Structure 1
Amino acid sequence: MSGFDRIIGTAGLIAAVVVLGGCELGHKDTQQTGFRGAGMAQIVDPDHVAKLSAIPPPPYPLPDDSGPRARETYQNVRVLGNVSTERFNHLMAAMSQWVAPPAQGCNYCHNPNNMASDEKYTKVVARRMLQMTRTINGTWSSHVKATGVTCYTCHRGNAVPTYKWAIAEGVADPDTIVRNKHGQNSPNAAVGYASLPYDPFQTYLNGTAQIRVAASSEYPSPDHVVSVKQAEQTYGLMMHMSTALGVNCTYCHNSQSFRSWSLSRPQRATAYYGIRMVRDANAHYITSLTAVFPAYRKGPHGDPYKINCQTCHQGQSKPLGGYSMLALNPTLKGPPVPTAPPEGGAAGAAVPAVLANPQAMTRRQ
Structure 2
Amino acid sequence: MFQKNVTRRDALGLGAAGIAALALAGCGSSSSDDGGSEEQSSYKVALVISGPKNDGGWGQGHYESLQRAIESHSNWEMLEPKENTDSADAANAAQTYVDQDVDLIIAAGNEFCSAWGDVVADAAESNPKVHFLMTNTDPESDLSDYATLENLETVQVNLIQTGALAGVVAGLMSASGQIGFIGGMRLPTTLKKYASYLLAAQKVNPDVEGHYNFDAGFTDASFGANITEQWINSNNVDVMWGDASAVDNGARQALEAAGADTHFDIAQPIDSVGDSQPTVITSTVTDWMFGEAMDQIENGSFGNGSVIEANMDNGGVYLGKFSDKVPQDVQDKIAEYTEQIKSGSLITEDEVSDLEATL
Report the TM-score range of the alignment, normalised by the length of the smaller protein: under 0.3
Bigger proportion of residues as strand:
2
Bigger proportion of residues as helix:
2
Normalising to structure 1: TM-score of the pair?
0.22
Query: Whose radius of gyration is greater, 1 or 2?
Result: 1
Flag the structure with more relative contact order, 1 or 2, with Cα contacts below 8 A and sequence separation at least 6.
1
Normalising to structure 2: TM-score of the pair?
0.23
